[in-house]
Structure 1
Amino acid sequence: MSSLSKAKIIKTEPLDQKDAKWATLVKTTYTDPEGVERTWESGERLTRPAGTDIDGVGVVAILRDPSKPDESPRIVLQKQWRAPIDKTVIEVPAGLMDPKESPETCAIRELKEESGYVGEVMGEGFGVSPVMFNDPGFCNTNLRMIHLTVDLSNPANQNPQPELEDNEFIETFSVPLKDLWAECKEFEQEGYAIDARVGTLAEGVELAKRWKFT
């Protein structure tokens, strides 16, 4: 396991909503399709900038070396310990939106800060995903997945240096995109947790392989 596993939970306790900085709980009263009044408990982020329709972005960053056109593309992944589940998680780079920031700009910024890589948004209408909701039965948190390419011939990507904040402990690595499903299975056996965005990407790649999509 990574050295990130040295992180540990000291205690867990109830959080008064007046002290909440990042998220809060709400109780919603609504009527169902048959007119019956019901209630629902859910979480809400407190960080979404005004005028923005998403909380953050996830980044699918693909490493490509123009001098090796036949080499299998690799996807940038990260290891990060997450307190809510007390595990080191296999993730894609991601982050919250800044005020007046576009999803594309946010993704390029977060990739540079977390991994050191300089990426470019993919074209042909594939750069930005539809808005996706992480767990709509529990919270309103949402994001867009931004698809970037990282040109390894770019001098800026020869020796990438992360610009992590003092409370960020992230290990960046890459795996062949075609092997992502097998890699996830192996990571799980090693005791890592798999972020749903990574698992969904892996599942999509594996389905495409098994059903021979071109």
Structure 2
Amino acid sequence: MADKMSTYSPLDAKVTSVEPMKPGDSKWITLKKITYKDPSGKQRLWESAERMTRSKNSEVDAVGVVAVLNDPKSSKGPSLLLQKQFRPAVDKVTIEVPSGLIDEGEDPATAALRELKEETGYIATIPGDAKAAEGFLMFNDPGFCNTNTKMIFVEVDMSDSRNQEGNRKPELEDSEYIECFTVPLDNMWNELAQLEEQGFAIDARVGTLAQGMEMARKWKEVFTKSPA
């Protein structure tokens, strides 16, 4: 797998054609026409896309992994693990967090640790003292589809030899071409702004995280003020 990643880059990909999909041809999603009544009682129609991949006994489609790398030898402080991956739907390479679908019988936390190892090779732990280690059940685009995600916060100990360069062993699928990189948490906004200027698409989860951090920085006194 290392050979594949050293030979190919997500930037090498491109869309070569686009055409309508016939009903019944889809393996991952389906389109539905929804009839509903609005608050006034008037009957209306809505067009929606739905995933066909959700596990039978789960309410969650997928997880996103907020992986913070802690390196005691680094003077730059903790950094966030991000990925570059080509997404045909937008015909761009996007900046994303590691993510993936939940397997049958998995809980979100287990899925997050598995996806992180498969896509990046990193071994992580979920901090027990983090209030938001497992986030809300978030609906990605409720005006368009029913897809949802849970964001899972994990820590990667860079002093662990398994996480050292050369020891990590990603287990990518044949169709996955993912480039991993890190950005310092305290400079995340500026790093993403530069990537956007270079033509990369910023995934909503990454952009929202960065914007939230900037808001916390601006209103730090409000957030840290002790309750009366």
Could you say which TM-score interval applies, normalised by the shorter chain? over 0.9
Report the CA distance between 1:201 and its aligned residue.
0.5
Partner of 2:174: 166
**What SS does structure 2 have at the residue aligned with 1:130?**
strand
Give the whole-Å Cα distance in 1 for the aligned partners of 2:55 and 2:157: 31
Does the 8 Å contact 2:67/2:81 carry over to 1? yes
Report the CA distance between 1:117 and its aligned residue.
0.3
Matched, 1:88 2:99: no
Give the whole-Å Cα distance in 2 for the aligned partners of 1:119 and 1:179: 23
Match of 2:52 among 46, 56, 60: 46
The code of the aligned residue for 2:193 comes to K
Structure 1 stretches (4+) deviating beyond 2 angstroms?
Answer: 65-68
Matched, 1:211 2:219: yes
**What SS does structure 1 have at the residue aligned with 2:105?**
coil
**What SS does structure 2 have at the residue aligned with 1:120?**
coil
Report the CA distance between 1:130 and its aligned residue.
1.0
Report the CA distance between 1:14 and its aligned residue.
1.1
Give the whole-Å Cα distance in 1 for the aligned partners of 2:174 and 2:108: 24
Partner of 2:210: 202
Give the whole-Å Cα distance in 1 for the aligned partners of 2:203 and 2:132: 22
Report the CA distance between 1:67 and its aligned residue.
5.2
Give the whole-Å Cα distance in 1 for the aligned partners of 2:214 and 2:181: 20
Report the CA distance between 1:184 and its aligned residue.
1.1
Matched, 1:108 2:116: no
Give the whole-Å Cα distance in 1 for the aligned partners of 2:76 and 2:199: 30
Q: Any idea what the Cα deviations from partners look like across 1:96-155, whole Å, max 9, x if unmatched? A: 010000100100000001111001112223220010000000000001000000001111
TM-score, scaled relative to structure 1:
0.95
Partner of 1:153: 159
Give the whole-Å Cα distance in 1 for the aligned partners of 2:81 and 2:12: 23
Give the whole-Å Cα distance in 2 for the aligned partners of 1:161 and 1:191: 29
Partner of 2:81: 76
Q: How does 1:169-188 map to 2 (within 5 A)?
A: 169-188=177-196
Partner of 2:4: none
Does the 8 Å contact 2:76/2:184 carry over to 1? no
Report the CA distance between 1:156 and its aligned residue.
1.1
Does the 8 Å contact 2:32/2:49 carry over to 1? yes
- 5+ residue gaps, structure 1, are none
Give the whole-Å Cα distance in 2 for the aligned partners of 1:162 and 1:178: 27
Report the CA distance between 1:65 and its aligned residue.
2.2
The code of the aligned residue for 2:82 comes to L
- 5+ residue gaps, structure 2, are 1-7
Q: Any idea what the Cα deviations from partners look like across 1:42-62, whole Å, max 9, x if unmatched? A: 100000000101100000000
Report the CA distance between 1:17 and its aligned residue.
2.4
The code of the aligned residue for 2:177 comes to F
Report the CA distance between 1:163 and its aligned residue.
1.2
**What SS does structure 1 have at the residue aligned with 2:136?**
coil
The code of the aligned residue for 1:205 comes to M
Greater mean alpha carbon deviation, residues 15-24 or residues 25-34: 15-24
Q: Any idea what the Cα deviations from partners look like across 1:4-52, whole Å, max 9, x if unmatched? A: 2221112111112211100011010000000000010010000000010
Greater mean alpha carbon deviation, residues 79-88 or residues 12-21: 12-21
Report the CA distance between 1:71 and its aligned residue.
4.4
The code of the aligned residue for 2:149 comes to L
State the Cα RMSD in Å: 1.4
